[in-house]
Structure 1
Amino acid sequence: MSGARGAWPQRALALLVPGTFTTSAFMDSSGEKQPSPVSSPSSMFADGANDLVAGILLDRFWWSLGFEKVAMGLLTLVEDRPTPKAVYNWRVYTAASVASWAACMIGYDSAFIGTTLALPSFAEEFKFAEMSKAHLNLTKANIVSVYQAGAFFGAFGAYASSHYIGRRKSLILWTLIFIIGAGMMLGANGDRGLGLIIGGRVLAGLGVGGCSNMVPIYISELSPPAVRGRLVGIYELGWQVGGLVGFWINYGLEQTMAPSHKQWIIPFAVQLIPAGCLLIGAVWMRESPRWCLSKGRREQALKDLCWIRNLPEDHPYIMEELEAIDAQVEHDRITVGPGFWKPFAALKQRKVQYRLFLGGMLFLWQNGSGINAINYYSPTVFKSLGVTEGFLTTGIFGVVKTVLTIFWLLYLIDRLGRTKLLMLGALGGSLCMWYIAAYIKIADPANNPSRDGKLTSGGISAVFFFYLWTAFYTPSWNGTPWVINSEMYSQQTRSLGQACAAANNWFWNFIISRFTPQMFSTMGYGVYMFFACLMLLSIPFVFFLIPETKGIPLERMDELFDMRPTYRAHPLLLERLKENEDVNVVIRDEKAKGEHNEMA
């Protein structure tokens, strides 16, 4: 018992493939703690460290570099119970990565459209020069915002599909809808007008809306609690990688191709690549065991759970997890009821309404940071700062976001937790926005460009604060609301809750994208002050209303959200879980002793 308890609550965990990394206090497949502690990467590649001499030499080398502290900081996680190392295997990471091709679709579509509309070849083919300023703003806003409108309805549609055909098949369905929409856009040209692009973006929006509902749920239901934030974070990383390509593709095309129909059609065609990768990868993916159990498919649930956890059916960890899911499903059937419509009846429950409110507000604050005004209209944003190389600066913005997302994914989300990140990001981001607003108010660089076309010292500082804002926003508000929303609902209401959360995201996305051109035209520097105020207001909201969720099993979320005060709920529940684990270990030991005595 002491060996098992010594591993709780913090242990170094293997991140990817069994046999690739081995650190101290690991448990083997039988659940027993390994006898030899590992203090540095010297034995990470031996999984047993048989070569003592080589191990000592490598230990000294890594210690001299100070590697141990960095490695342990990156790899230390909080667990709800002792967990076999086999659980943290390549299958669960690969499943999350394959599903996150959907996020690449979303990120790319969100990023490429703004710079595509700014391409001279696109503007010339669709005669933007002949439009009035108001008509042009309306046209651009419609092209961008119909995508969000489609995504809003797609998010709700995914609730129905996931209920009847499951998470995996739903992903395939909504990806096919996205592909149809992307194909429609490829048929557009100057003679046919913008109709095919607008109609195609509606269908593409439906597809990404459905995927934005499904992917966080699917990943969270597969994930061990200790790395759930990290695995759902892969979804956000996929979003940023797609966005990175979307930000840079038009810069590359503008630099290497003469203006032509082909120049602007290529970015529309690239949408099909991540969608195709998801379809191919979906053949390998397994269904969510939690969904299978909720449908009474126990045999399939057990088979898929054992495959994902890389453990045999009779392993205590599998048996405990299956029992916990069973208990939660039964509880939900009693309190909510089975069927398609019962979760809607659950909306009458105050605790469900409260969590829907929290989830929706998180996306209000996220969009209130200004991120989607920048994503969709980055050339306009950088022009307001006096930057003339909009495509290049936008590309750098994409790089910064992607790098910081990787840092958030590997180090922050499951170590610092969700709420601290949100509050820190909001405070720092707000201060940056205030500075940018003050600079534009005083210098008005868009209407008073420098004589040599270069940025002034004030302009350089404004760009610096813009990237500093990116550094605060990306590791906090960019992906964390998706993680929290994927965790906070019970099994019976999770699909509907995530549908509402995703729809909220796309609703506020639509509002921002639809009215950003008009806001910049009428408010000027006031746009940045508006976003700064909203970021400040989010801080007390998070502190008083959002409990920390890192390391808490999905089946204990009801308990977490019922505890008061909210900002103390997480440590109190972890202590309760620790006490319960002590009791369970004693029961298992007594049972094992009894069986041994009977055999004797």
Structure 2
Amino acid sequence: MVANSTESPTLRDSALPDMPKTGPFRKRIGLISVVACFGGLLFGYDTGVINGALRPMSQELGLTAVSEGVVTSSLVFAAAVGAVTCGQICDMIGRRRTILYLALMFFLGTLVVVLAPNVALLVVGRILLGLAVGGASIVVPVYLSELAPHEIRGSISGRNEVAIVTGQLAAFVVNAIIGNVWGHIDGIWRVMFAICAIPAVCLFIGMLRMPESPRWLVEHNRRDEALAVLMSVRTEERARAELGAVEVVAEASTGDQRVGYRKFVFNKWLVRIVLVGMGVAVCQQLTGINSIMYYGQVVLIESGFAENAALIANIAPGVVAVLGGFFALYMMDRVDRRTTFITGLSLTTTFHLLIGLCSKFMAEDNPLRAWVILALIVGFVASMQSFLNVAVWVWLAEVFPLPMRGVGIGVSQLFGWGMNGVIALVFPSLVAGVGISGVFFIFAIVGVVALIFIATQVPETRGISLEKMEEGVETGMAYRFREWRRMRDEQ
């Protein structure tokens, strides 16, 4: 909707017939989400497998602390490129086709890593996987949010984050089993990576039978196809009403304003939402969650665990991440995004402080030290997954207007993945330089700054249709937090 529109933002949503809470339409949406979330599962496994594979890989290939950081962060920096690139690609060729190409890239990257004879080719394979991971981090949430009815959009698109942490947990469990049973075999880390090929094949085959995003189809003047897709996941009355709402927005965006980057430079509110999106993505990474997901075994060894014990103990954060993900799905359609962000950052900052204090003041020969730090790490991961990770991915998939949705989330995640890569690259050196306590004190200070940013800049998206959200963002109404929430509650 253009900025000078006088149409009430409550009219579109109130005109939509209710969706049945059970039946074939909900089942169809559920099936689509399961298939698409294989992309999230691949994301999780490929980012988590390095956690246990790094030490045997280092021993075989002779990696140093610096080259360990390079191997780990190469995937993450590539993911930043994949995120911003696939944001544009999925806007051009469609969400479904992009996911199919990403499945092929996951498979190719896995093949290169497994067969890599040296560090150079290993990094090449990690870069290919990173491009696929970054692309999946953008396209899958957008695809799910555009197919789901707004009443359950949070819980449907949030399933991708649960799939991510499930993939990470799977990597931790596989690593623990393989490492403890066959860890003496040369090249065993290659087997850890090879398992990633299985979900890549499942994603490709599954997406061959899935529909395209109806909103993307409308944006590309394929109205009849969009209606057919909507009628497969909505009642006919709801499908026709929703199509009409989408068409109103699509017709209002014409000319250059329909094109990615050029869409937002003419509107100060769109510039602002891109900056806010970048800030939210960076804040998510500055919690340091991925330092635990990538280097959890290293942190636990530094805390006092033996190597094999750390490999097993590392499963605990993975388990609570999955449990927290399901809790987050339960909250997605019940609790406002801003509330979950503020709650999550408050908890994670508290745990950062506690981990730093325990690491600094508990003696290294104290037998309780390792277990106390493990418990605090588990609490940190549970807080992060319950209140931040799912909510951030869902919010990013909801907040940008349709003509720039892929680009908006892509640019945001370019900065998010970039910060992720910086942390992955320097974390081993930081631990060596200032110790665990110093690292987590830094995370705590950054957490306070992130809290202030979230409280003052982030608009609410829960319970608001994508079309109404577009109008609120383009007119600046969404930044008037109290009035925006009251308008939503009155609809």
- TM-score of the alignment, normalized to the shorter chain, above 0.5: yes
Q: 2:141 aligns with which of 212, 216, 238?
A: 216
Q: 2:113 aligns with which of 185, 189, 195?
A: 185
Matched, 1:378 2:296: yes
**SS of residue paired to 1:396:** helix
Deviation at 1:575, TM superposition (A): 4.3
The 8 Å contact of residues 284 and 388 in structure 2, kept in 1 or not, is answered as yes
> After superposition, what is the alpha-carbon deviation per residue over 1:384-412, rounded to whole angstroms, capped at 9, x for unaligned?
32233211111111011111111111x21
Partner residue of 1:549?
A: 461
Q: 2:377 aligns with which of 466, 472, 497?
A: 466
Matched, 1:97 2:22: no
Q: Which moved more, 1:352-361 or 1:252-261?
A: 252-261
Q: Which has the larger radius of gyration?
A: 1
Q: 2:430 aligns with which of 503, 514, 519?
A: 519
Partner residue of 1:405?
A: 325
The 8 Å contact of residues 77 and 130 in structure 2, kept in 1 or not, is answered as yes
Deviation at 1:344, TM superposition (A): 2.7
Matched, 1:529 2:420: no
Partner residue of 1:252?
A: 177
Q: Residue type matched to 1:346 in 2?
A: F
**SS of residue paired to 1:387:** coil
Equivalent-residue separation in structure 2 for 1:275 and 1:460 (angstroms): 36
Equivalent-residue separation in structure 1 for 2:211 and 2:92 (angstroms): 16
> After superposition, what is the alpha-carbon deviation per residue over 1:4-63, rounded to whole angstroms, capped at 9, x for unaligned?
xxxxx9xxxxxxxxxxxxxxxxxxxxxxxxxxxxxxxxxxxxxxxxxxxxxxxxxxxxxx
Q: Residue type matched to 2:95 in 1?
A: R
Q: Residue type matched to 1:237 in 2?
A: V
Matches within 5 A, 1:241-390: 241-309=166-234, 311-312=235-236, 315=237, 317-333=238-254, 336-338=256-258, 341=259, 343-388=261-306, 389-390=309-310
Matched, 1:142 2:70: yes
Q: Residue type matched to 1:144 in 2?
A: T
Equivalent-residue separation in structure 1 for 2:178 and 2:205 (angstroms): 28
Deviation at 1:547, TM superposition (A): 2.1
Partner residue of 1:434?
A: 353
Q: Between Structure 1 and Structure 2, which shows a larger proportion of helix residues?
A: 2
Matched, 1:414 2:330: no
Matches within 5 A, 1:127-138: 127-128=62-63, 136-138=64-66
Equivalent-residue separation in structure 2 for 1:337 and 1:571 (angstroms): 28
Question: CA, structure 1 residues 550+87, in 2 after alignment: closer, same or farther (shift >3 Å)?
Answer: farther
The 8 Å contact of residues 116 and 267 in structure 1, kept in 2 or not, is answered as yes
Equivalent-residue separation in structure 1 for 2:343 and 2:95 (angstroms): 34
The 8 Å contact of residues 317 and 382 in structure 2, kept in 1 or not, is answered as no
Give aligned pairs, total: 473
Matched, 1:159 2:159: no
Deviation at 1:510, TM superposition (A): 0.6
Partner residue of 2:452?
A: 540
Equivalent-residue separation in structure 2 for 1:98 and 1:431 (angstroms): 37
**SS of residue paired to 1:286:** coil
The 8 Å contact of residues 88 and 260 in structure 2, kept in 1 or not, is answered as no
The 8 Å contact of residues 402 and 470 in structure 2, kept in 1 or not, is answered as no
The 8 Å contact of residues 560 and 569 in structure 1, kept in 2 or not, is answered as no
Equivalent-residue separation in structure 1 for 2:171 and 2:214 (angstroms): 35
**SS of residue paired to 1:260:** coil
Q: 1:479 aligns with which of 364, 368, 390?
A: 390
Matched, 1:84 2:3: no
Q: Residue type matched to 1:417 in 2?
A: D
Q: 1:204 aligns with which of 110, 129, 153?
A: 129
Q: Which moved more, 1:560-569 or 1:291-300?
A: 560-569
Question: CA, structure 1 residues 565+344, in 2 after alignment: closer, same or farther (shift >3 Å)?
Answer: closer
The 8 Å contact of residues 544 and 566 in structure 1, kept in 2 or not, is answered as no
Deviation at 1:342, TM superposition (A): 5.5
Unaligned 5+ runs, structure 2: 1-9
The 8 Å contact of residues 547 and 560 in structure 1, kept in 2 or not, is answered as no
Question: CA, structure 1 residues 421+160, in 2 after alignment: closer, same or farther (shift >3 Å)?
Answer: closer
Deviation at 1:527, TM superposition (A): 0.5
The 8 Å contact of residues 16 and 242 in structure 2, kept in 1 or not, is answered as no
Partner residue of 1:116?
A: 53
Q: TM-score, normalised by structure 1?
A: 0.75
The 8 Å contact of residues 544 and 567 in structure 1, kept in 2 or not, is answered as no
Partner residue of 2:43?
A: 106
Deviation at 1:436, TM superposition (A): 1.3
Equivalent-residue separation in structure 1 for 2:183 and 2:443 (angstroms): 38
The 8 Å contact of residues 547 and 567 in structure 1, kept in 2 or not, is answered as yes
Q: Residue type matched to 1:526 in 2?
A: G
Question: CA, structure 1 residues 566+538, in 2 after alignment: closer, same or farther (shift >3 Å)?
Answer: farther
The 8 Å contact of residues 80 and 574 in structure 1, kept in 2 or not, is answered as no
Q: Residue type matched to 2:69 in 1?
A: A
> After superposition, what is the alpha-carbon deviation per residue over 1:503-545, rounded to whole angstroms, capped at 9, x for unaligned?
2221111111011111111121110011112222222222221
Deviation at 1:302, TM superposition (A): 0.8
Deviation at 1:352, TM superposition (A): 1.5
Q: Residue type matched to 1:100 in 2?
A: C
The 8 Å contact of residues 560 and 573 in structure 1, kept in 2 or not, is answered as no
The 8 Å contact of residues 345 and 451 in structure 2, kept in 1 or not, is answered as yes
Deviation at 1:444, TM superposition (A): 5.1
Equivalent-residue separation in structure 1 for 2:254 and 2:74 (angstroms): 38
Equivalent-residue separation in structure 1 for 2:24 and 2:439 (angstroms): 47
Matched, 1:423 2:347: no
Partner residue of 1:588?
A: none
Deviation at 1:345, TM superposition (A): 4.8
Question: CA, structure 1 residues 281+318, in 2 after alignment: closer, same or farther (shift >3 Å)?
Answer: same
Deviation at 1:570, TM superposition (A): 4.0
The 8 Å contact of residues 430 and 532 in structure 1, kept in 2 or not, is answered as yes
Question: CA, structure 1 residues 249+551, in 2 after alignment: closer, same or farther (shift >3 Å)?
Answer: same
Deviation at 1:199, TM superposition (A): 0.6
The 8 Å contact of residues 79 and 226 in structure 1, kept in 2 or not, is answered as no
Equivalent-residue separation in structure 1 for 2:163 and 2:489 (angstroms): 34
Equivalent-residue separation in structure 2 for 1:548 and 1:300 (angstroms): 31
Equivalent-residue separation in structure 1 for 2:320 and 2:283 (angstroms): 21
Partner residue of 1:6?
A: none
Equivalent-residue separation in structure 2 for 1:204 and 1:565 (angstroms): 37
Partner residue of 1:500?
A: 411
> After superposition, what is the alpha-carbon deviation per residue over 1:265-290, rounded to whole angstroms, capped at 9, x for unaligned?
11110111111110011011100111
Q: Residue type matched to 1:547 in 2?
A: P
Equivalent-residue separation in structure 2 for 1:460 and 1:342 (angstroms): 49
Q: Which moved more, 1:256-265 or 1:494-503?
A: 256-265
Unaligned 5+ runs, structure 1: 1-8, 10-77, 129-135, 579-600
Partner residue of 2:7?
A: none
